[in-house]
């Protein structure tokens, strides 16, 4: 059982999204204002559809906080779906007398076909409402809470867009993160960002969608989170599972990722520097090609996660598909959708990495209070210097 865990509930066009978070230590200062910025970031990005003009996501804290501090009890959050007013009959909890049109035209690339058959539904809406990426708003809210916890210990999170529709960014050695947040596609390279916007514009008249790649970077994580001793305790494995659980994410890598597969070992592995070159932090490396994780354990270097997002499957010009009732060829179902979700995808990936790291942090240092957790962390950090200096 994880130290920091969460559940979400809710459908895309239901009343709203509910989140329950367990494992937060008592004494963490937390407010709704801590969560709001990341929810706004998720709603932004060039290529989003009409739903983002309707919603104004805001997470209310329903329990687990008193007078601005966590109580150590479960945290409950709620995000209202403003679009619910247009779906009160179609998504009613109680039976309705009106005959509701069923969705039977399935979309290639979505959960429609396997979900409907697995659960025995004759209406694909029973699947698509929960399989919708609307649920990622809940994850971002929980991720903001995880980031708030880790922020107490100096951990910082960033993300940016590496590519959209084959247009790749020329990532500078030093990234201006404020400029990334101001860029329409959250790209660190202004010229490439302009080309990415053009690629999105080119797809829209065709009723098509485009995907891309994002990168998450986390600084301030000490050496020692995760473990090499079991498959399910390896930090990179836990992060990979979390990333691949996000809608439309189809691949994940760390540091160089897939690029390292074409290189020799002498070019890839991160040489450990001698103490004279540590610059204040223990056990520094000459490079960070492994993305801050070796053997399933954080190394103390920046954690770097790259992930690929496929083009979303709801197309304004639908692909050929099959009807669930008849098995005959039809055009796939279409509902309002985005052209590109890559900029927002980076924010969701950031949230999921934060959730995994919060769990690993509490697994390693956790106490019933924030102060106890901090003391545990400080005691541990005192033990990881060079062995002859520690013993002496």
Predicted pLDDT of residue 390: 54
**Mean pLDDT over each residue of the chain, to the nearest integer:** 94
Predicted pLDDT of residue 389: 58
pTM: 0.95
Q: Does the pLDDT value for residue 55 go beyond 80?
A: no
pLDDT band per the 50, 70, 90 thresholds, residue 280: confident
Predicted pLDDT of residue 2: 58
Predicted pLDDT of residue 392: 46
Residue 121 tokens, joined? 């539904």
Mean pLDDT confidence for 212-237: 97
**Domain positions in the chain:** 5-391
pLDDT band per the 50, 70, 90 thresholds, residue 52: low
Predicted pLDDT of residue 388: 61
C-beta of residue 107 within 8 angstroms of C-beta of residue 323: no
pLDDT band per the 50, 70, 90 thresholds, residue 362: very high
The domain 5-391 is classified under which CATH number: 3.60.150.10, 3.40.50.720, 3.40.640.10, 3.40.50.10800? 3.60.150.10
């Amino acid at each position: 059982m994880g130290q920091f865990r969460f559940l979400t509930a809710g459908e895309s066009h239901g009343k709203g999204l509910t989140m329950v978070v367990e494992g937060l230590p008592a004494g963490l200062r937390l407010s709704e204002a801590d969560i709001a910025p990341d929810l706004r970031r998720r709603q932004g990005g060039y290529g989003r559809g009409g739903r983002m003009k309707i919603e104004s996501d805001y997470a209310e804290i329903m329990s687990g906080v008193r007078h601005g501090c966590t109580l150590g009890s479960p945290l409950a959050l709620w995000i209202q779906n403003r679009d619910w007013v247009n779906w009160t009959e179609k998504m009613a909890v109680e039976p309705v007398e009106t005959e509701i049109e069923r969705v039977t035209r399935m979309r290639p690339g979505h959960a429609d076909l396997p979900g409907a058959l697995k659960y025995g539904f004759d209406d694909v809406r029973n699947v698509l409402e929960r399989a919708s990426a609307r649920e990622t708003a809940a994850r971002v809210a929980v991720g903001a809470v995880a980031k708030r916890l880790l922020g107490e210990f100096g951990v910082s999170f960033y993300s940016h867009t590496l590519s959209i529709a084959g247009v790749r960014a020329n990532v500078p050695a030093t990234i201006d993160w404020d400029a990334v947040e101001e860029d329409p596609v959250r790209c660190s390279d202004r010229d490439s960002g302009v080309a990415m916007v053009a690629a999105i514009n080119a797809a829209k008249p065709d009723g098509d969608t485009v995907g891309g790649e994002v990168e998450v970077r986390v600084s301030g994580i000490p050496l020692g989170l995760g473990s090499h001793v079991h498959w399910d305790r390896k930090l990179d494995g836990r992060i990979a599972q979390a990333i691949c659980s996000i809608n439309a994410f189809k691949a994940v890598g760390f540091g160089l990722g897939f690029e390292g597969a074409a290189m020799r070992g002498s070019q890839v592995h991160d040489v450990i520097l001698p103490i004279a070159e540590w610059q204040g932090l223990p056990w520094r490396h000459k490079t960070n090609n492994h993305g801050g994780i070796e053997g399933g354990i954080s190394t103390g270097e920046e954690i770097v996660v790259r992930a690929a997002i496929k083009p979303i499957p709801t197309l304004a010009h639908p692909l050929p598909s099959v009807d669930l009732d008849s098995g005959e060829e039809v055009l796939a179902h279409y509902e309002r959708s985005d052209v590109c979700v890559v900029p927002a995808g980076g924010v969701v990936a950031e949230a999921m990495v934060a959730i995994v790291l919060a769990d690993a942090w509490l697994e390693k240092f956790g106490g019933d209070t924030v102060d106890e957790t901090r003391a545990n962390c400080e005691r541990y950090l005192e033990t990881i210097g060079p062995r002859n200096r520690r013993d002496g």
